[in-house]
Structure 1
Amino acid sequence: MTKKQPQRQAFNILIVGQSGRLQYEALLFAASLRHCSPNFDGELFVAIPQAGPKWSNDPSIKNGAVLAALERLGARILPFESKVFGQSYPQGNKIESLFALPPDKPFVFFDTDTLITGDVMSVPFDFERPGASLRCEGTWPEPTLYGPQYGEIWKSLYDKFGLDFESSLDTSQPDNHWQRYLYFNAGFFFGANPHEFGQRFLDYAIAIRDSPPPELICQSVDPWLDQVALPLVIHSYGGGRESLPPGFLDGSVSCHYRVFPLLYAREDDHVLDVLHTVAAPNWIKKVLKGYEPIKRIVYQGRGEKVRALFDRGALPKREQMLRNRIKSAGFWMR
């Protein structure tokens, strides 16, 4: 029997922009969304943290040219206050920004270092079963030789929040292999109600940070706190690995490139074509050239030199190996 696809719901897209690199990435994200998904019928919100006691410097976007370009692309600026994290853990922006969204529509969050490369309206989201990016490596936890292993560490967290651990496992993977345990990259995630999802995400993250179970005693959750809490939140709503069919996000519809040298090193030609197309108009180029890595990598050809270092058909398995080779060649910038 063919599984019934969920009826398509209108949804909003959220990214976080702030001063520095993220504001330029936000501009490229907005340009790629409008180019590759012109029929998107939700709103694109660019959430911007505001100055306050959680920041030593003002993190908001003051660059008038960037703000004007985002407005021209139809993005809606969404100021928000950092009440919990701020400068001490800027990844917490993706949690706290959820409370600024309208609560009456489902949401999809993307990291700003993402390009939209296809039609987001074609993605068969089931917002009642949230999901997140599976394009990740086993970055957390790091079991010690004599300490708790993967299963003990993760089970302690499921127990802490009253969640069923066994149903989260991928039993096709062996014990003590990281992929047996539910783990996501927080480069994108989606859900039905941003306020409810955000509150649970915030509650779990604070509890893990402030009162971790004993099994986490040798584990650092910085900078992984969001990715430790996220699978627990998603599982609590009945979501998981199968919430989204493969091939859409982190596939034909979006590319989480992380940094521009990695984009040129490993992504396919279509992603490069999208980047060069959306960065070409003079009114965008004038703004993007204000960021030195984009100026040198995208517009002055350094990216093509990075690309020439690698065979896309035989890339190293680990991202760190890519980074090391780019750095050795003197082409790393971010």
Structure 2
Amino acid sequence: MPSKTPKSRSTDATPVSQTFNILAVAQAGRLQYEAILLLASLRDTNPDFAGRIIIAEPQMNDQWARDPKINNPDVRALLIALGAEILPFENKVFGASYPYGNKIEALNVLPEKEPFLFLDTDTLVIDDLARVPFDFDQPTASMKREGTWPKIELYGPGYAETWKSLYDRFGLSFEDTLDLSQPDEYWARYLYFNAGFFYYSCPRQFGSRFLEYAWAIRDDPPSELVCQEMSPWLDQVALPLVIHSFGGGRDAAVSDVMDHVATCHYRALPLLYAKESDAVVDVLHRVSAPNKVKKVAKQYDPFKRMIYQGRGMKVRAMFDRDDLPRREQRIRNQIKRANLWMR
């Protein structure tokens, strides 16, 4: 019988340390500076983390008009000082036309059959990752998302028909993915994740299938997707299919801790200051304060202005965290009207 409410496992047990590798992608521009805060926060809150920390760096090839490599030597040196290994990879399929594809093709730099956790660079690690009840044989991803895809047209296919066409394309069971606690034709009934984190026991297997599915969806989508916009959603369209194919799905025990306790996927600093808890802001300010971090991070103008010149706290003063607008777009618009939006 199709189930499907998210799996629920207790998170009250004593944290158990597991060894796994962490992967993030950094390149020229914003991501290289975000990677500094990601690593600084990991080292601050998880000083005994035993796995490898790998920063995958895309290399110049014919998929890029400009060299995507980390272009600030100070950033490179600081990432290494914070314990990262910077490993090159080639984005052979997506490149500049779809930079989110980096997270798909970068999985190939990780060692085979070693558990991994992928994190977007716009993430802070704010608590002990040992608190997260990872089961690396049953993958899941972030449930901190909105119903961004698909966009249903008046006379077009509905949610069920659209999603089922994808499961059928790859020979996967659609009915087993449904959350039957949600109404029919409501977006949350269908398996959908934010790709800000995901994990599995073997990065090569996961990456190979992720690439296969995303490539096929981009170049030969089912007819039900003809009116659907795939950028920037392609990775989040393929991800639930990949996770389901490996026996994973929703896991409330993991997503509750990862999305709300152990990490903060802030996406843009103005949103962090507007929405997140005092504890998250405290971690941000603490890990960005040491001089070795500050002198590099402030080279990125949004960090300089938001963190070090106090614009972030001006944004914070504009909002009541206990009474935020329900839709994020209203928060963004309010910040932009105050001329405080930076990313």
Task: Give the TM-score category using the shorter length.
Answer: over 0.9
CA gap of 1:167–1:28, structure 2 versus 1, over 3 A, is: same
CA gap of 1:65–1:7, structure 2 versus 1, over 3 A, is: closer
Shift of 1:62: 2.3
Determine the C-alpha separation between the residues in 1 that align with 2:321 and 2:258: 20
Paired position in structure 2 for 1:68 = 77
* Alignment check: 8 A CA contact 2:142 2:255 kept: no
- Is 1:24 paired with 2:33? yes
Higher mean C-alpha deviation, range 232-241 or range 2-11: 2-11
After superposition, give the CA deviation of every residue in 1:81-118 in whole Å (9 maximum; x if it has no partner).
Answer: 11111100000000000001111311000100000000
Shift of 1:223: 1.0
RMSD: 1.5
Determine the C-alpha separation between the residues in 1 that align with 2:239 and 2:114: 20
TM-score (norm. length: structure 2): 0.94
- Is 1:152 paired with 2:161? yes
Higher relative contact order (CA 8 A, sep 6+): 2
Determine the C-alpha separation between the residues in 1 that align with 2:310 and 2:275: 16
After superposition, give the CA deviation of every residue in 1:236-276 in whole Å (9 maximum; x if it has no partner).
Answer: 11111127434311111100000010000000001000000
The count of residues paired between Structure 1 and Structure 2 equals: 333
Paired position in structure 1 for 2:65 = 56
Paired position in structure 2 for 1:278 = 287
Determine the C-alpha separation between the residues in 2 that align with 1:97 and 1:297: 30
Paired position in structure 2 for 1:180 = 189
Shift of 1:321: 1.1
Determine the C-alpha separation between the residues in 1 that align with 2:231 and 2:340: 28
Determine the C-alpha separation between the residues in 2 that align with 1:55 and 1:179: 36
Written as runs of structure 1 = structure 2, the 5 A alignment for 1:184-203 is 184-203=193-212
TM-score (norm. length: structure 1): 0.97
CA gap of 1:264–1:3, structure 2 versus 1, over 3 A, is: closer
List alignment gaps of at least 5 residues for structure 1. Answer: none
* Alignment check: 8 A CA contact 1:8 1:125 kept: no
Q: What is the identity, as a one-letter code, of the residue corresponding to 2:87?
A: L
Determine the C-alpha separation between the residues in 2 that align with 1:188 and 1:234: 12
Written as runs of structure 1 = structure 2, the 5 A alignment for 1:249-328 is 249-328=258-337
- Is 1:78 paired with 2:92? no
Determine the C-alpha separation between the residues in 1 that align with 2:9 and 2:240: 24
Determine the C-alpha separation between the residues in 2 that align with 1:27 and 1:229: 28
* Alignment check: 8 A CA contact 1:39 1:121 kept: no
* Alignment check: 8 A CA contact 2:9 2:252 kept: no
After superposition, give the CA deviation of every residue in 1:54-84 in whole Å (9 maximum; x if it has no partner).
Answer: 1000010121111111111111111111111
Determine the C-alpha separation between the residues in 1 that align with 2:9 and 2:139: 17
What stretches of structure 1 move > 4 A for 4+ residues in a row? Answer: 2-8
Paired position in structure 2 for 1:105 = 114
